[in-house]
């Protein structure tokens, strides 16, 4: 475990983030299951990508309603760091959003498999699965179910979903995390006040990742005063004010992962 405080950053005005895709985003829609399509936004790096990255937003997973989510609002910064970024939306048969059970399902993994295949066709580089909050269920599920070139090459869990009690289902209730073998990074704000992402609940979950080829926890703290509820985008849960430092930590770790 590596723990270090992070200096305060600056709040990006919510109005600048918007609720629609940026001009540099490309929208792609694929058929993922019979009669089912899934759309995602692609944000390309300025040069050849060093890796691809699939971002899983939290909440219900509906991209248009979560554009201010930590990962989604940071997609341009990940792209600027050299990543080909895909921000995934809900599939056409889940327009009202995900629940934890679907996030842990074979159907969800099959949807994401199509995105992975698309990214591998675009660039012969590793594909990383990156989730935040309830999006960590999705990322872990894909890492557990899909192996080899059909799956991801690494996993990043930020503000991991670790409820104190069930319901809702915890990650081990819906994902066989012991079957995850790829390098896995956990990032957590020690001051996260969200009831389903309490820092003290993270260690028991991490202990279940018994076969990850590499496993590490980066602990951060601080930020600017929360501008939203404790489980929402502009709180410690969403790394408000320290986004740049957290992104830099993730980028460094991915680049150094073997």
> pLDDT for 198-212, tens place per residue?
999 999 999 999 999
- Would you say 174 and 161 are in contact if contact means Cβ atoms under 8 Å apart? no
In the structure encoding, which two tokens stand for residue 49, read together?
A: 């990508």
Q: Comparing C-alpha atoms, which of 181, 257, 210, 220 is closest to residue 1?
A: 220
- The pTM of this model reads 0.91
Beta bridge partners of residue 52, listed in sequence order? 84, 127
Share of the chain above pLDDT 90, in %: 86
How do the domains of the chain map onto residue ranges? Answer: 2-256
pLDDT at position 164 is 85
- pLDDT tier at 20 (50, 70, 90 boundaries)? very low
pLDDT at position 22 is 58
CATH code, 2-256: 3.40.50.1820
Bond from prior residue into 154 cis (ω within 30 degrees of 0): no
pLDDT at position 21 is 54
State yes or no: pLDDT of 51 exceeds 60. Answer: yes
DSSP labels for 3-53?
E-------PPPHHHH-SS--TTEEEEEEEEETTEEEEEEEE--SSS-SEEE
């Amino acid at each position: 475990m590596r723990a270090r405080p992070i200096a305060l950053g600056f709040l990006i005005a919510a109005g600048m983030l918007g609720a629609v895709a940026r001009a540099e985003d490309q929208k792609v829609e694929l058929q993922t299951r019979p009669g089912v399509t899934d759309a995602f936004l692609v944000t390309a790096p300025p040069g050849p990508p060093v890796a691809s990255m699939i971002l899983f937003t939290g909440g219900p997973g509906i991209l248009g309603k979560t554009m201010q989510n930590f990962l989604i609002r940071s997609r341009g910064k990940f792209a600027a760091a050299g990543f080909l970024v895909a921000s995934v939306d809900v599939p056409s048969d889940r327009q009202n959003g995900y629940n934890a059970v679907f996030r842990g399902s074979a159907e969800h993994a099959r949807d994401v498999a199509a995105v992975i295949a698309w990214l591998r066709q675009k660039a012969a580089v590793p594909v990383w699965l990156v989730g935040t909050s309830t999006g960590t269920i999705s990322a872990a599920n894909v890492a557990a179910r899909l192996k080899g070139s059909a799956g991801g090459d690494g996993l990043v869990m930020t503000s991991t979903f670790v409820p104190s009690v069930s319901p809702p289902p915890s990650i081990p209730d819906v994902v066989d995390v012991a079957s995850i073998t790829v390098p896995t990074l956990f990032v957590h704000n020690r001051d996260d006040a969200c009831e389903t992402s309490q820092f003290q609940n993270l260690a028991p979950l991490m202990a279940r990742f018994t076969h990850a080829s590499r496993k590490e926890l980066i602990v951060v703290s601080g930020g600017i005063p929360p501008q939203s509820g404790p489980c929402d985008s502009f709180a410690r849960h969403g790394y408000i004010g320290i986004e740049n430092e957290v992104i830099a930590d993730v980028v460094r770790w991915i680049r150094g992962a073997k």
